[in-house]
Amino acid sequence: MKVSRYLIPTLKENPSDAVVTSHRLMMRAGLIRKESAGMYSYLPMGLKVLRKIINIVKEEMDRAGALECLMPELTNADLWKESGRWYTMGPEMFRIEDRNGLEYALGPTHEEAFTHLVRTVVSSYRDLPLNLYQINTKFRDEIRPRFGVIRSKEFIMKDAYSFDVDEKGLDESYNAMAKAYRRIFERCGLETIPVQADSGNMGGSASEEFMVASEIGEEVLLLCDSCDYRANSEKAEYRSITAESEPQESLREVHTPDIKTIDDLVNFFNCQPDKFFKSIIYVYDGKPVMVVVPGSRDVNEHKLKNYLGALELELASEEIVIKVTGAPLGFAGPVGLKDLRIICDVSIRSLCNGVTGANKKDYHFAGVNPGRDFEIKEEADITIARSGDLCPKCNGKMYEKKGIEVGHIFKLGYKYTKAMNVTVLDEKGEAITPIMGCYGIGINRTMAAIVEQCSDDKGIIWPKEVTPFHVHLVGIAKNDEEIRQIEEIYDMLIDSGIDVLYDDRKVSPGFKFADADLIGIPLRITVGKNYFAKGEVELKERSKAEALSIAKNNIVAEIKKYYSA
């Protein structure tokens, strides 16, 4: 491909709305253009990269035994109503009507669609297992589309759904995907950190997210400094340290006018935040519950929701707080509350002589001791783990990293097959409900994550497998004869099956080199005065500072060597 005939509108300046590296570089290298907020077009070179990622994903999915399908983007509202998600997906789902008033959603994900497809094509246990996938557009009306294609309103996802007759089968399907995902990202040249993720009520190691470590990541990961424990912050277990015991003080009521927040309390009582039994009222599936955590910690609502087995969980309104505690916001506590369900974090039991709200306006209790002053009826890990906490698996310490989620594998269980009445007949002729797994990869986000990870201050440095071209040929010619000689090399490369981008423009060498560095093709070949004088071209790897001089006859072999290594 000749640059003069191609479409690579590189930009010298960073677009003003591009705040992260991948967005800046993908715009500047002429890979994408913004249509409007959260919507991007792919130009020819950007599309080439996207297709390479798609091909890797396809090859590995096929290799793992998954079967490719293509589903409509318009998904029937009836299916969403069957699963119940028509009512719970909220404003993230784009909903439209046809001319007859029939309702549809532009697919944000396709569990319902695939579950429906499967119920129309399988009838016997012999038809399973099945793992069906597609590589297709998803639509999500994100609250904050940002970071270019990392969070957009319309993006390409590989989504796969497995159907098995039993949990053992699901384990196998899931493990095949766990393996395939590792291969996919490795082949894309992307280093990922697989972390345990929240799996709703499925428990165990039933969900893994594939994260790319990055300062711009929106996910917080907790990693152990001495074993391989890795989890996202929704899932990471908190292992509490037993607090030192002290002689028990007597329980006393303290007048605390207008002292409501933990900061106010720390100043007023002149003690550490962990001396407070932070008591928060939630409403789960319509019922109130109090949760008690140490004052320095936050409630992990994912853990709480799983513990409660709740479908809905939200903070209680002040009205409900007043109703269940008898006091306005800021004065709730577990002492003396008989009729309310109370769940204490695992660390509460060992805290002594603490402070908590007295369920009375402008009053707190001090000298509070669990067991003596209130009973711990329910105890669970319901706080957010953080840097410095003990690893739940060994004696190491956990530290935090930020990450971009590029893929997610998940044991779904029976949620959709039950809601949508999917059954097959087992060996005995009895109807059984298949169990599902689901597996997603964001193709565009993966591309952006590669750029985040594989770039320097000059531009992108594409990994071999996803580079838009194999070689960037830079010609520096002074006359037609020299141009002819460069074109000979260009033709030779094409004839050898090498995908070459030839910069044939009449611009300065410095300009061409800057564009080559920006675009980031891993190999650059410069044909200039050394070639016309001594028959030598310059071969330079984008990731290295030094270049090699090689003879024309060795060019093809050197390129092939690089790509087969």
Applying CB under 6 A, which residues contact ligand ATP? 109, 140, 142, 151-152, 155, 157, 405-408, 440, 442, 444-445
CB of 105 to ligand ATP, least distance (A): 14
Closest residue (Cβ) to ligand ATP? 442
Site of tokens 């094409």: 494
Please give the order of strands across the beta sheet that includes 342-345.
313-315, 277-284, 287-294, 342-345, 378-380
**Region at 330 (left for phi over 0; alpha for psi -120 to 50; beta for the rest):** left
If the CB atoms of residues 140 and 305 are measured against ligand ATP, the closer one turns out to be: 140
Q: Are 185 and 447 in contact (CB under 8 A)?
A: no
If the CB atoms of residues 141 and 465 are measured against ligand ATP, the closer one turns out to be: 141
If the CB atoms of residues 180 and 290 are measured against ligand ATP, the closer one turns out to be: 180
If the CB atoms of residues 80 and 531 are measured against ligand ATP, the closer one turns out to be: 80
If the CB atoms of residues 52 and 524 are measured against ligand ATP, the closer one turns out to be: 52
The 3-state DSSP class for residue 205 equals coil
If the CB atoms of residues 440 and 475 are measured against ligand ATP, the closer one turns out to be: 440
Q: Give the tokens for residue 440.
A: 């997603």
CB of 241 to ligand ATP, least distance (A): 31
Total length of the chain: 565
What letter represents residue 110's amino acid? H
If the CB atoms of residues 137 and 261 are measured against ligand ATP, the closer one turns out to be: 137
- According to DSSP, the β-strands at 39-42 and 32-36 are antiparallel
- According to DSSP, the β-strands at 500-503 and 471-475 are parallel
Q: How far is CA 440 from CA 161, 174, 207, 467, 476, in A?
A: 9, 12, 12, 23, 46
- Give the whole-angstrom CA distance, residue 448 versus residue 153: 15
CB of 104 to ligand ATP, least distance (A): 19
CB of 62 to ligand ATP, least distance (A): 20
**DSSP-assigned letters across all residues of 29-96:** TTSEEEEETTEEEEPHHHHHHHHHHHHHHHHHHHHTT-EE----SEEEHHHHHHHTHHHHSGGGSEEE
CB of 109 to ligand ATP, least distance (A): 6
CB of 440 to ligand ATP, least distance (A): 3
CB of 322 to ligand ATP, least distance (A): 35
